[in-house]
Amino acid sequence: MKKIINLTINDQAYEIAVVPNKTLADMLRYDLNLTGTKKGCDTGDCGACTVILNGDAVNSCLILAVQTDGAVIETIEGLATDEGLHPIQEAFVEKGAIQCGFCSPGMIMSTKNLLDKNANPTEEEIREGISGNLCRCTGYQKIFEAIDSQKS
């Protein structure tokens, strides 16, 4: 049976009816067309589906959409503005931290969450901060450099 939930995604209010067995990742992608959030493993291992839920980075493939009633969610679509890309996105482009791009939305959301909580992370903290996100193309060095360049 569908349940109506109200939530805020990228500063926009949504009211949506969802079935209990739909994950947040699927609701974002298939009901709201926010396909920037990717699905890789769908079991919480790869981090491609990372979004920020009430201030914490989470795997949206392991959260039931109906349980996000009242939540505040940030996805990759919320980062760029009319003026252009978000500085973290710019840094990823600048440092060549993107190759195929599939992990980038999740990687960037983890980065944003890390820097929101800790504007000046150490090398260890940066590596820990993206340890839940897998990249299968570039390796992690350029991603690390992109994040490192965004420290305050």
Partner 1 sequence: MLLPEFELHEPVSIEDALKLKKKHGKDARLMAGGTDVLVLLKKKVIFTDTIISLLQIKELSQIKESGNEVVIGACATMAQLSKSSVIKEKFGALKSSCDNLGSHLIRNRATIGGNCCNASPAGDTMPSLMIYDAKVMIESTDGKREVSIKNFFKGPGVTDLAIHEILTGFKLPIPPKNSGAHYIQLGKRRSSEINVVNVGSFLEYDPDTKTIINSRIALGSVAATPIRAQKAEELIKGKPAKEDTFYTAGETARKEDCKPIDDFRGSAAYRQAMIGVLTKRTLQASFEQAQ
Binding site for partner 1 (CB under 8 A): 1, 19-23, 42-45, 47, 50, 53, 56-59, 62-64, 66-67, 110, 128-129, 131-133
- Residue 149: CB minimum distance to partner 1, A: 21
Nearest residue to 89 (alpha-carbon basis) of 74, 99, 79? 79
Which residue's CB is nearer to partner 1, number 64 or number 90? 64
Nearer to partner 1, 12 or 131 (CB): 131
Give 70 or 101: the residue with its C-beta nearer to partner 1.
Answer: 70
Our CB check for partner 1 shows the closer of 42 and 77 to be 42
Looking at residue 135, its amino acid is: C
Q: Which residues contact 115 (CB under 8 A, 6 or more apart)?
A: 88, 121, 147, 150, 151
- The beta-strand segments (E) located in 10-121 are 12-18, 50-53, 56-59, 72-74
What is the distance between the alpha carbons of residues 9 and 31, in angstroms, rounded to a whole number?
Answer: 13
**CB 81, min distance to partner 1, A:** 26
14 three-state secondary structure: strand
| Closest CB 143 distance from partner 1, rounded Å | 15
